[in-house]
Structure 1
Amino acid sequence: MTITQLYYVLAVAENKNFTLAAEKCFVTQPTLSMQIQKLEDELGILIFDRSKKPIQLTEIGQKIVSQAKNIVNESGRIKDIVDQQKGYIGGEFKLGIIPTIMPTLLPMFLNNFIKKYPKLKLIIEEQNTEDIILKLKNGHLDAAIAATPLEDDHIKEMVLYYEPFVAYIPENHHNFGKEKIDIQDLDIDDILLLQDGHCFRDGILNLCKTQHDSKSPNFQLESGSFETLIKLADEGLGTTLLPYLHTLDLREKDKIKLRHFNDPAPARQVSLIYPKSELKLHIIEALRSTIAGVVKGAIAFHNVQIISPISKSTKA
């Protein structure tokens, strides 16, 4: 039995296809199939039921895959231990970032980080939270930056900062004249939202409690970008909420439409998240240190109320 054989088994279990698994492992399909066959012969069992389409794990195969994940993860610790002992930060590191954080946070730290650690090949993917969690569990990401807490027993969270929600209120809106607003001033029927799948959207839904019976609006719109929501708000179609860092780059004429919340301000908790295996933890810590160094000058809010990014339906 070899680590490589177990790695191939995990690839087939995930992709449910020998050809696709071989492509992901950068080997030929006959090579991958032969190695898995050798392992099955050695153990005297079948890991996969090849008669089904797509390929399914046998009952014993499910138990083997569960143990194989532990073994492959633990084998990765050996190189990790050596790298940490040497203080070496290099090789490949795959980082996921959710869409509502990527545009504002990435430019703040990326240049500093790659200059400080030139031997590290940083591969960055923009993914929603659900896909990030799946990729972390399957070993396709080393870490990610997302809104937390996620309440997932398989994921560890390292808090980076707390980012307040800021209301964008056009001049013709009844809340425009207020210097600051309260959560009770919000009406979910009046707020333009991001598309389903964005955790920032779920945070707003968790934050807002409609103060009266919901009306049926004459239109319903959800967008994938804050810029579109801002333009629609300016057209008098409602208000929207923005993450604080996103407001820093607004034009001065748009900044007068921003309204902060009275303390404790609703905020999202932004964290580095990574698998409980804690592989490449020294690189994760280097990333945390770099981000903390640049963000602390931009965000100095302390009295905040953390709003969960998990949709209420998911929590229930």
Structure 2
Amino acid sequence: MTLTELRYIVAVARERHFGRAAEACFVSQPTLSVAIKKLEDELDCKIFERGSSEVSVTPLGDEIVRQAQSVIEQAAAIKEIAKRGKDPLAGPLRLGIIYTIGPYLLPELVRNAIDRVPQMPLMLQENFTVKLLDMLRTGELDAAILAEPFPDTGLAVAPLYDEPFMVAAPATHALARRASVSAEELKQETMLLLGNGHCFRDHVLEVCPEFARFSSDAEGIRKSFEGSSLETIKHMVASGMGVTVVPQLSIPEAGQAPANPHLRYIPFSDPVPTRRVVLVWRRTFTRYEAIAALRNAIYACALPGVKRLTA
């Protein structure tokens, strides 16, 4: 068996689809299918059950995939050890980041990283939390910036900052004239949410759990609308479609970006809901100095309105 074949079975287990797994591995589907069939023949067992619409992992295959992930990680560690012997800061760092943090943190973070460690370019991947955790586990990423909570995967975790939430409302809305708003008051509003897969959607539903399902009032059935990005939802709010909840760093600073005259941001009254943003990496990742340099570059960012944390 080869590392390539092991990467193929891990990809199929993750995607539950041969075509998507082949795309993720940058090979043709026949190439991937032949390699996996060869490995199954060599091991004399079935790793996958092929269905008409989805691929499932057999119980024995699940054990094999977990061991394959470990082997891939250990193989990557060998390369990292060799790099570390020369210069742990030399070479790119593959960094993942979730959609609701990336647009607001990355511009300044990248500038800081270039200034501080130009020999360590950041290779960036924006995605959902679940996907980034999979990529960390298989060695496709070195580190990721996520928001807690997320499934315990045995990763090393360093806290970065606690970020408060704000209410975004149309400028003509009654809430726009308020000094603060309680979560209870949002029950009466039409709430605009991110779609499924975004962890920030779950954070908002913790603040306003009634919007996890249809709710009724005197006017009939009210439904929460869904958008693909925070910026899309902000435009929907500005047009008067409802209100939403946003993280502090997504709010443009005065003088740094043109303010939307149709949008207002209002603080929450106590207790203010927040999310904890953390940096995670595999415990077997050997470039400790690279992780430290990345954390320092993050702490060098302005991060207005958040509470900085140290391990």
TM-score band by shorter chain is: 0.7 to 0.9
Q: Deviations over 1:74-130 (max 9, x none)?
A: 343334334445443123432222111111111111022134333334321221112
Residues 1:299 and 2:305 aligned together = yes
Paired position in structure 2 for 1:159: 159
Distance 1:235 1:38 in 2: 56
Aligned to 1:286, which of 293, 298, 302?
293
Counterpart code for 1:9: L
Counterpart code for 1:270: V
Q: Deviations over 1:145-183 (max 9, x none)?
A: 121121423333222111111112334333333212222
Larger radius of gyration: 1
Paired position in structure 1 for 2:134: 134
Find the residue that maps to 1:175 and give its secondary structure: helix
Paired position in structure 1 for 2:177: 177
Mean Cα deviation higher: 228-237 or 46-55: 46-55
Paired position in structure 1 for 2:250: 246
Tell me if the contact between 1:46 and 1:61 (Cα under 8 Å) persists in the aligned partners.
Answer: no
Paired position in structure 2 for 1:148: 148
Instruction: Map residues 249-260 of structure 1 onto 2, 5 A cutoff.
Output: 249=253, 251-252=258-259, 254=261, 257-260=264-267
Consecutive unaligned residues in structure 1, runs of 5 or more? 304-316
Q: Deviations over 1:191-229 (max 9, x none)?
A: 221222221111111111559x63345675322233333
Paired position in structure 2 for 1:223: 227
Tell me if the contact between 2:40 and 2:47 (Cα under 8 Å) persists in the aligned partners.
Answer: no
Tell me if the contact between 1:12 and 1:21 (Cα under 8 Å) persists in the aligned partners.
Answer: no
The alpha carbon displacement at 1:73 in A equals 2.1
Paired position in structure 1 for 2:192: 192
Q: CA RMSD, aligned part only?
A: 4.1
Paired position in structure 2 for 1:207: 207
Tell me if the contact between 1:48 and 1:56 (Cα under 8 Å) persists in the aligned partners.
Answer: no
Distance 2:98 2:141 in 1: 13
Q: How does the TM-score come out when normalised to structure 2?
A: 0.75
Query: Quick one: percent identity of the two aligned structures?
Result: 28
Tell me if the contact between 2:169 and 2:237 (Cα under 8 Å) persists in the aligned partners.
Answer: yes
Distance 1:187 1:58 in 2: 45
Consecutive unaligned residues in structure 2, runs of 5 or more? none
Tell me if the contact between 2:148 and 2:276 (Cα under 8 Å) persists in the aligned partners.
Answer: yes
Find the residue that maps to 1:159 and give its secondary structure: strand
Residues 1:266 and 2:263 aligned together = no
Q: How does the TM-score come out when normalised to structure 1?
A: 0.74
Paired position in structure 2 for 1:67: 67
